[in-house]
């Protein structure tokens, strides 16, 4: 059984990945400030910025690293640019270099926000299209990709956008819609922001496949299609039997957000599809998988790990 070190194991992606794959891999999850208990995998509590990457790898001795830890909140990055740079840019490169030295497979998680969202066209952004980050978050993540690949050319960089259940119940857009709509609260949904988001269980499944294929370089790991955030809200309401008219279409320009968002993040996934050798899930497939996991009690299990 391969041993995998997952940083950000208390975060939305890291925790879901560790939970879904704790029987397939010998999982070592790195958690920092979030207090969790009853996890079905081993954890190390560690602030990555004040502990050496070499010591962490000496302790965990992984075959694979899935690096999910980041300052992933866009507005927090605007307020704390130095910390954002430390965790989103510098640390990933240092960890990737250590992984290269020890011949540990390194998977780094990046973002669709490296593009400005101005002209992706119907076919979406490809991996080698010119990037243009428009927020501190995006800038630090793009530099992180570059530093990772410079330090470790065999690394895999997965650009992603995903949703699912988080420990706090408010990390992802699906939770925003679900929490409000289930309580009968009206919500705004951006009708001019498009994305190719993927349910986190599909994302975890594809990352697992990419580990098996020993893939390297940049991959877009997204849904095969796209929709607006407004439509996403409406589809959640319809699937869960909430009132879809509670979702009001608005422009992101009227959203009162601190940091600029890229409006049109349609992503091209041909490269990924080619290496996987099968079709990718679309938005509806993702919603069905999310719904199925909900019915099976995933939300309660993820939130039940919070101390």
Return residues touching ligand NAP (CB under 6 A).
Answer: 8, 10-14, 30-34, 47-49, 68-70, 72, 87, 109, 111, 141, 160-162, 166, 171-172
Which residue's CB is nearer to ligand NAP, number 35 or number 243?
35
3-state DSSP assignment of residue 203: helix
Which residue's CB is nearer to ligand NAP, number 25 or number 195?
195
Exposed / middle / buried, residue 202 (Cβ in 10 Å: 0-12, 13-18, 19+) = buried
Q: How far is the CB of 85 from ligand NAP (least distance, A)?
A: 12
Token reading at 144: 């992180």
Which residue's CB is nearer to ligand NAP, number 135 or number 180?
135
Asked whether 224 and 283 are in contact (CB, 8 A), the reply is no
List the one residue out of 157, 202, 173 whose CA is nearest residue 261.
173
Which residue's CB is nearer to ligand NAP, number 36 or number 215?
36
* Angle at the Cα of 104 from the Cα atoms of 99 and 108, rounded to 5 degrees: 65
Q: How far is the CB of 187 from ligand NAP (least distance, A)?
A: 18
Q: How far is the CB of 14 from ligand NAP (least distance, A)?
A: 5
Q: How far is the CB of 275 from ligand NAP (least distance, A)?
A: 20
Which residue's CB is nearer to ligand NAP, number 60 or number 160?
160
3-state DSSP assignment of residue 198: strand
Q: How far is the CB of 294 from ligand NAP (least distance, A)?
A: 18
From CA 131, how far away is CA 127, in angstroms rounded?
9
Token reading at 153: 């050319």
Q: How far is the CB of 257 from ligand NAP (least distance, A)?
A: 15
Instruction: Write 251-259 long-range contacts (CB < 8 A, 24+).
Output: 251/190, 251/191, 251/192, 252/190, 252/192, 252/193, 253/192, 255/188, 255/190, 257/74, 257/75, 258/74, 258/75, 258/78, 258/79, 259/74, 259/75, 259/77, 259/78, 259/135, 259/136, 259/137
Which residue's CB is nearer to ligand NAP, number 228 or number 245?
228
Q: How far is the CB of 184 from ligand NAP (least distance, A)?
A: 26
Q: Name the residue number minimizing CB distance to ligand NAP.
A: 11
Which residue's CB is nearer to ligand NAP, number 174 or number 181?
174
Asked whether 122 and 266 are in contact (CB, 8 A), the reply is yes
């Amino acid at each position: 059984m391969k041993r995998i070190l997952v940083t950000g194991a208390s975060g939305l992606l890291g925790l879901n990945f560790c939970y879904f794959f704790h029987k397939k891999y010998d999982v070592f999850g790195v958690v920092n400030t979030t207090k969790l208990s009853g996890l079905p995998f081993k954890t190390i509590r560690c602030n990555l910025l004040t502990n050496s990457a070499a010591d962490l790898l000496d302790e965990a001795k992984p075959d694979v690293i899935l690096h999910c830890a980041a300052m992933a909140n866009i507005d927090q990055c605007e307020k704390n640019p130095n910390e954002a740079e430390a965790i989103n840019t510098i640390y990933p490169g240092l960890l990737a270099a250590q992984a290269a030295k020890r011949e540990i497979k390194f998977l780094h998680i990046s973002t669709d926000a490296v593009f400005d969202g101005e002209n992706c066209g119907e076919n979406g952004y490809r991996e080698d299209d010119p990037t243009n980050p428009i927020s501190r978050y995006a800038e630090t993540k793009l530099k992180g990709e570059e530093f990772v690949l410079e330090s470790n050319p065999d690394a895999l960089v997965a650009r992603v956008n995903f949703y699912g259940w988080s420990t706090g119940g408010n990390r992802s857009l699906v939770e925003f819609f679900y929490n409000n709509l289930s309580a009968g609260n009206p919500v705004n949904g951006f009708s001019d922001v498009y994305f190719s988001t993927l349910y986190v269980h599909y994302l975890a499944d594809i990352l697992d496949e990419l580990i098996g294929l020993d893939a390297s370089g940049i991959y877009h790991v997204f849904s095969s299609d796209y929709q607006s955030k407004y439509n996403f809200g409406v589809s959640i309401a319809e699937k869960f039997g909430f009132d879809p008219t509670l979702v009001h279409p608005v422009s992101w320009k009227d959203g009162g957000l601190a940091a600029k968002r890229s409006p049109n993040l349609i992503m091209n996934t041909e490269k990924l599809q080619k290496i996987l050798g099968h079709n990718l899930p679309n938005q509806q497939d993702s919603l069905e998988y999310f719904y199925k996991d909900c019915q099976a009690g995933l939300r309660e299990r993820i939130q039940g790990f919070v101390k």
